[in-house]
Amino acid sequence: MLKEKYQRLKYELMKNNLEKNFFLFDEKNYEIRKKSLIDQLEKQIALYQKIYHCSEIVCLGIGTNKFLDANFDTFGPRVNSNLKKKELPDFVKLYGTMEQPLHAGNIEPFCKQQEWKQKLVLVCDSAVATQSIGCVQIKDQGVFPGLGFDKKLPFLGDFQICFFIQNPNIDLLGINNKTIYQMSEITSDLLYQVFQRRNEHLKKKILKKG
C-alpha cells in the first residue's frame, strides 16, 4: 500500500514537471536558491494535498532539547520552536519543540494517540550521514526517526526534513551548535514561506467559491 502510494505520487510529480523528489541545501546556497526551493516545495505539498485530500499540515520536530550532551540532535525541536514564534495558518499544527520535545522516550505513545488521516505530516529530524554533513535534505517520503542512532521507532510522515550530521560516537566534534542553529532558522524560514503560500492559495480558492 505504501509502495503504491509513493509510486502514484512520483508519477504525479513527473506529470507536473516536478521530477526531483528531494532538495539539498546548506547555509551557503540557501539565499541563492530560496525562491526555487519555496516554489518547488510548495508545488509538491499542494500536489500531495490534492491527491490525498490533506486539509491539515502537521510538523513533527523530533529530537532532544538538551544542549550540553546531545546538541547534535536539537535540529527538529528548534525548527518547530522557530515556527511557533511566527503567525502560522490555522491548518498548520506543531508537535515537538524545545519546550516540549518529541524523542525516543515518548514518540511511540504520542503517535498511538494521533489520527493521521487527511493530514500531511512533515518530520524534522537529525540524520547520521557520511556526506553532505551540515546540509538539510527535504524528501517526499517518510522516515524511521532515530535509525542512525540504532533506535527502533515507527515509520513516520509523508515528507522528511533531515539535517545531516556525523555519527557523534565516532566524531565527538561533529556539527557545532552554531551550524544547527543557523540551519534550523533557515529551514523554519523556508517552511513558513511555503505555509504562507498555501494559505494565500486557500484564501483565493474560498473567494472564488463565494
The amino acid at 18: L
- Kindly state whether residue 209 falls inside one of the protein's structural domains: no
Q: What is the DSSP letter of 130?
A: S
Q: Per residue in 45-76, pLDDT tens? A: 888 888 888 889 999 999 988 754 445 789 99
33: cell is: 536558491
Q: Per residue in 116-153, pLDDT tens? A: 878 999 999 988 888 888 899 998 888 887 676 667 77
Q: Specify the higher pLDDT residue, 99 or 147.
A: 99
Alpha-carbon distance of 204 to 188, in angstroms, equals: 24
- Kindly state whether residue 73 falls inside one of the protein's structural domains: yes
Q: Angle at Cα 176 formed by Cα 171 and Cα 178, nearest 5°?
A: 170
Residue 167 predicted with pLDDT over 60? yes
- Kindly state whether residue 210 falls inside one of the protein's structural domains: no
3-state secondary structure of 155: coil
101: cell is: 520535545
Residue 80 predicted with pLDDT over 90? yes
- Kindly state whether residue 34 falls inside one of the protein's structural domains: yes
- Kindly state whether residue 206 falls inside one of the protein's structural domains: no
The boundaries of the domain holding residue 110 are 2-201
The number of domains in the chain is 1
- Kindly state whether residue 142 falls inside one of the protein's structural domains: yes
Q: What is the CATH number of the domain that holds 183?
A: 3.40.50
**pTM here?**
0.85
Task: Give residues with Cβ within 8 angstroms of 6, minimum separation 6.
Answer: 140, 141
Residue 188 predicted with pLDDT over 80? yes
- Kindly state whether residue 207 falls inside one of the protein's structural domains: no
Q: Are 171 and 152 in contact (CB under 8 A)?
A: no
Alpha-carbon distance of 81 to 21, in angstroms, equals: 26
- Kindly state whether residue 164 falls inside one of the protein's structural domains: yes
